Amino acid sequence: MSRSDAGSGSAGHAAEPGPGALVVELAEGFAGDDVTVLIDGEQMWHRNGVSTNYSVGIADVVRLPMPTKAWPTVEVQVGRRAATRRVDVGETARAADGEGVDVGAEAGSEAPRELRLRARIDPAGTLSLGVASEETRY
């Protein structure tokens, strides 16, 4: 398993996330795939040859700066397949505890907020994207 930052792909954006992070876990079903992550249509990350390590169930972890727009559209493209999801970035600031959201150990903590999404390809080849803790495991 490798850990990827925004600047490690071919997109060339800043490697350090801002006050929070949007994390996209690339989970089951990847096998030597070309993967691109876009936010509101802008390519933020790309890597060739992404494959799932089935001993841990993760192919890669993409860490991007938290978008400033309240409802950005996050898209994961794998070859010709794509899955999109609109996410409420503002919810991460309001949540004290929530599924897929890590806002620090205590409410009011200064720890960076994090929103985690998970992309996976099911055995039938369908690509899905959802909040990490809400996704069904295959």
Q: What is the pLDDT of residue 119?
A: 94
93 lies in which domain range? 2-134
Give the range among 1-10, 41-50, 59-68, 75-84 with minimum mean pLDDT. Answer: 1-10
Q: Which helix (H) or strand (E) holds 2?
A: strand 2-5
The number of distinct structural domains making up the chain is: 1
Which whole number is the average pLDDT over 74-80?
A: 92
pLDDT at 96 exceeding the cut of 80: no
Chain centroid to CA 36: 11
- Taking Cα atoms as reference points, which of 31, 36, 25, 34 lies closest to residue 51? 31
In DSSP notation, 108-125 reads T--SPEEEEEEEEE-TTS
Q: Which amino acid is at 73?
A: T
